[in-house]
Amino acid sequence: MKKENSNQIEITNDIYNNIIRKSVNYIYNKLNLKNINFVQYNLIHDVFIFFMAFIIIFNTNLFYLAIILFIISLYSFSIVFLYQF
């Protein structure tokens, strides 16, 4: 029982203390994103995802699909960036 608790604490510490989380928290605090309007962010997010899905569904050019994949990966990083622990 005590071994499981210590393992769980180690995993929790690893989650909170990894390099991505530290850098994201630093940037989050420097840019003062605590005052962001999440209603507007949610609207922009929905429109952006709709256009990305539209391009993915109706496009067969591999170059454009690779660009979309890159944009989506940057976008997913921004979601991690805005999610404050």
How do the pLDDT tens digits run along the chain, 85 residues long? 555 566 666 666 666 677 777 777 787 778 776 777 778 777 877 888 888 888 888 888 899 888 888 888 888 877 776 666 5
pTM of the model as a whole: 0.49
Maximal C-alpha separation, the chain = 55
User: Residue 48's domain spans which residues?
Assistant: 2-82
- HEC assignment per residue over the chain: CHHHHHHHHHHHHHHHCCHHHHHHHHHHHHCCHHHCCHHHHHHHHHHHHHHHHHHHHHCCCHHHHHHHHHHHHHHHHHHHHHCCC
The Cα 27–Cα 39 span in angstroms is 22
pLDDT at res. 3 = 57
**Tally of structural domains, the chain:** 1
pLDDT at res. 81 = 66
pLDDT at res. 40 = 75
